[in-house]
Amino acid sequence: MRSHEPRSTSSCAACKLLKRRCSPTCNFAPYFRSDEPKKFAKVHKVFGASNVSKILIEVPEDQREDTVNSLVYEAEARLRDPVYGCIGAIALLQRKMIELQHDLALARARLARYAANYSTGVAGTELDRLTMTGLGMKLRIYYNIYIISGDEGGKKFLEV
Protein backbone atom coordinates (compact mmCIF):
# COMPACT_ATOMS: atom_id res chain seq x y z
CA MET A 1 0.00 0.00 0.00
CA ARG A 2 1.38 3.37 -0.92
CA SER A 3 0.61 5.16 2.35
CA HIS A 4 3.28 3.10 4.11
CA GLU A 5 6.00 3.85 1.54
CA PRO A 6 8.71 6.21 2.67
CA ARG A 7 8.11 9.73 1.40
CA SER A 8 10.73 11.90 -0.16
CA THR A 9 11.39 15.34 1.29
CA SER A 10 9.72 17.08 -1.66
CA SER A 11 6.09 18.10 -1.69
CA CYS A 12 3.46 15.97 -3.36
CA ALA A 13 2.04 17.05 -6.72
CA ALA A 14 -1.12 18.37 -5.06
CA CYS A 15 0.68 20.60 -2.59
CA LYS A 16 2.98 21.88 -5.32
CA LEU A 17 0.04 22.84 -7.51
CA LEU A 18 -1.84 24.39 -4.59
CA LYS A 19 1.37 26.15 -3.49
CA ARG A 20 1.23 25.00 0.08
CA ARG A 21 3.55 23.14 2.42
CA CYS A 22 3.12 19.37 2.30
CA SER A 23 2.68 17.95 5.78
CA PRO A 24 3.49 14.36 6.79
CA THR A 25 -0.27 13.75 7.18
CA CYS A 26 -1.17 15.07 3.70
CA ASN A 27 -4.12 13.10 2.25
CA PHE A 28 -2.86 13.59 -1.31
CA ALA A 29 0.80 12.57 -0.88
CA PRO A 30 0.42 8.77 -1.13
CA TYR A 31 -1.60 9.03 -4.36
CA PHE A 32 -0.26 12.12 -6.17
CA ARG A 33 3.53 11.81 -6.09
CA SER A 34 5.72 14.79 -6.97
CA ASP A 35 6.88 13.15 -10.22
CA GLU A 36 3.27 13.06 -11.55
CA PRO A 37 2.15 16.70 -11.53
CA LYS A 38 -0.26 16.37 -14.47
CA LYS A 39 -2.19 13.61 -12.71
CA PHE A 40 -3.33 15.90 -9.91
CA ALA A 41 -3.71 18.91 -12.22
CA LYS A 42 -6.33 17.07 -14.29
CA VAL A 43 -8.24 15.86 -11.23
CA HIS A 44 -8.09 19.30 -9.62
CA LYS A 45 -9.34 21.00 -12.79
CA VAL A 46 -12.39 18.74 -13.03
CA PHE A 47 -13.29 18.01 -9.39
CA GLY A 48 -11.45 20.56 -7.27
CA ALA A 49 -8.98 19.84 -4.47
CA SER A 50 -11.56 20.20 -1.70
CA ASN A 51 -13.92 17.64 -3.25
CA VAL A 52 -11.10 15.19 -3.91
CA SER A 53 -9.96 15.55 -0.29
CA LYS A 54 -13.50 14.87 0.96
CA ILE A 55 -13.80 11.81 -1.26
CA LEU A 56 -10.47 10.42 -0.06
CA ILE A 57 -11.46 10.89 3.58
CA GLU A 58 -14.81 9.11 3.10
CA VAL A 59 -13.37 6.11 1.23
CA PRO A 60 -11.79 3.26 3.24
CA GLU A 61 -8.01 3.40 3.09
CA ASP A 62 -7.67 0.09 1.21
CA GLN A 63 -9.84 1.48 -1.62
CA ARG A 64 -8.26 4.92 -1.96
CA GLU A 65 -5.77 4.06 -4.66
CA ASP A 66 -8.53 2.60 -6.84
CA THR A 67 -10.63 5.67 -6.12
CA VAL A 68 -7.80 7.98 -7.21
CA ASN A 69 -7.30 5.93 -10.40
CA SER A 70 -11.02 6.24 -11.13
CA LEU A 71 -10.96 9.99 -10.51
CA VAL A 72 -7.98 10.37 -12.83
CA TYR A 73 -9.69 8.33 -15.57
CA GLU A 74 -12.92 10.31 -15.24
CA ALA A 75 -11.02 13.61 -15.24
CA GLU A 76 -9.14 12.67 -18.41
CA ALA A 77 -12.39 11.60 -20.07
CA ARG A 78 -14.11 14.86 -19.01
CA LEU A 79 -11.25 16.93 -20.39
CA ARG A 80 -11.42 15.05 -23.70
CA ASP A 81 -15.23 15.14 -23.88
CA PRO A 82 -16.69 17.77 -21.50
CA VAL A 83 -20.31 16.85 -22.27
CA TYR A 84 -20.32 13.05 -21.98
CA GLY A 85 -17.05 12.15 -20.24
CA CYS A 86 -16.76 8.43 -19.54
CA ILE A 87 -20.30 7.81 -20.73
CA GLY A 88 -19.28 8.89 -24.24
CA ALA A 89 -16.47 6.32 -24.26
CA ILE A 90 -18.81 3.63 -22.93
CA ALA A 91 -21.47 4.45 -25.54
CA LEU A 92 -18.87 4.28 -28.33
CA LEU A 93 -17.70 0.86 -27.12
CA GLN A 94 -21.29 -0.37 -26.87
CA ARG A 95 -21.99 0.74 -30.47
CA LYS A 96 -18.86 -1.07 -31.66
CA MET A 97 -19.90 -4.18 -29.74
CA ILE A 98 -23.36 -4.14 -31.38
CA GLU A 99 -21.76 -3.77 -34.82
CA LEU A 100 -19.40 -6.66 -34.10
CA GLN A 101 -22.27 -8.84 -32.84
CA HIS A 102 -24.18 -8.05 -36.05
CA ASP A 103 -21.15 -8.91 -38.20
CA LEU A 104 -20.65 -12.14 -36.25
CA ALA A 105 -24.30 -13.10 -36.72
CA LEU A 106 -24.00 -12.51 -40.48
CA ALA A 107 -20.81 -14.57 -40.66
CA ARG A 108 -22.42 -17.41 -38.69
CA ALA A 109 -25.50 -17.36 -40.92
CA ARG A 110 -23.36 -17.52 -44.06
CA LEU A 111 -21.26 -20.27 -42.60
CA ALA A 112 -24.38 -22.23 -41.63
CA ARG A 113 -25.78 -21.80 -45.14
CA TYR A 114 -22.57 -23.10 -46.71
CA ALA A 115 -22.35 -25.94 -44.21
CA ALA A 116 -25.96 -26.90 -45.00
CA ASN A 117 -25.17 -26.91 -48.71
CA TYR A 118 -22.12 -29.07 -48.04
CA SER A 119 -24.02 -31.55 -45.87
CA THR A 120 -26.88 -31.99 -48.37
CA GLY A 121 -24.39 -33.19 -50.97
CA VAL A 122 -25.92 -31.19 -53.79
CA ALA A 123 -23.97 -31.13 -57.09
CA GLY A 124 -20.58 -29.43 -57.44
CA THR A 125 -17.13 -29.60 -55.91
CA GLU A 126 -15.29 -26.37 -56.83
CA LEU A 127 -13.28 -24.85 -54.02
CA ASP A 128 -13.77 -21.12 -53.65
CA ARG A 129 -13.04 -18.49 -51.09
CA LEU A 130 -15.37 -16.03 -49.39
CA THR A 131 -13.73 -12.94 -47.98
CA MET A 132 -15.81 -10.96 -45.55
CA THR A 133 -14.67 -7.64 -44.28
CA GLY A 134 -15.94 -6.03 -41.13
CA LEU A 135 -14.39 -3.18 -39.17
CA GLY A 136 -11.07 -3.50 -40.98
CA MET A 137 -10.62 -7.21 -40.29
CA LYS A 138 -10.68 -9.87 -42.98
CA LEU A 139 -12.06 -13.28 -42.30
CA ARG A 140 -11.51 -15.90 -44.97
CA ILE A 141 -13.77 -18.92 -45.09
CA TYR A 142 -13.06 -21.74 -47.52
CA TYR A 143 -16.06 -23.69 -48.68
CA ASN A 144 -17.41 -25.81 -51.53
CA ILE A 145 -19.87 -24.12 -53.87
CA TYR A 146 -22.80 -26.28 -54.82
CA ILE A 147 -25.19 -25.35 -57.58
CA ILE A 148 -28.75 -25.96 -56.57
CA SER A 149 -31.13 -26.17 -59.45
CA GLY A 150 -34.84 -26.31 -59.21
CA ASP A 151 -38.14 -25.39 -60.74
CA GLU A 152 -40.31 -22.81 -59.02
CA GLY A 153 -43.49 -21.69 -60.69
CA GLY A 154 -42.29 -22.77 -64.12
CA LYS A 155 -39.06 -20.73 -63.79
CA LYS A 156 -35.69 -22.37 -63.64
CA PHE A 157 -33.30 -20.95 -61.05
CA LEU A 158 -29.73 -21.47 -59.97
CA GLU A 159 -28.37 -20.56 -56.57
CA VAL A 160 -24.72 -20.36 -55.81
Between CA 56 and CA 118 the distance in angstroms is 63
Cβ atoms of 2 and 65 closer than 8 Å: yes
Number of residues written out for the chain: 160
pLDDT in tens, the chain (160 residues): 444 454 555 789 999 999 999 988 898 989 998 888 899 999 999 999 999 999 999 999 999 999 999 999 999 999 999 999 889 889 999 999 999 999 999 999 888 888 887 776 554 443 344 444 444 444 444 444 433 444 445 444 444 4
Does this model's pTM top 0.75?
Answer: no
Instruction: Sketch the domain layout of the chain as residue ranges.
Output: 13-80, 83-119
Q: How many CB atoms lie within 10 A of CB 54?
A: 13
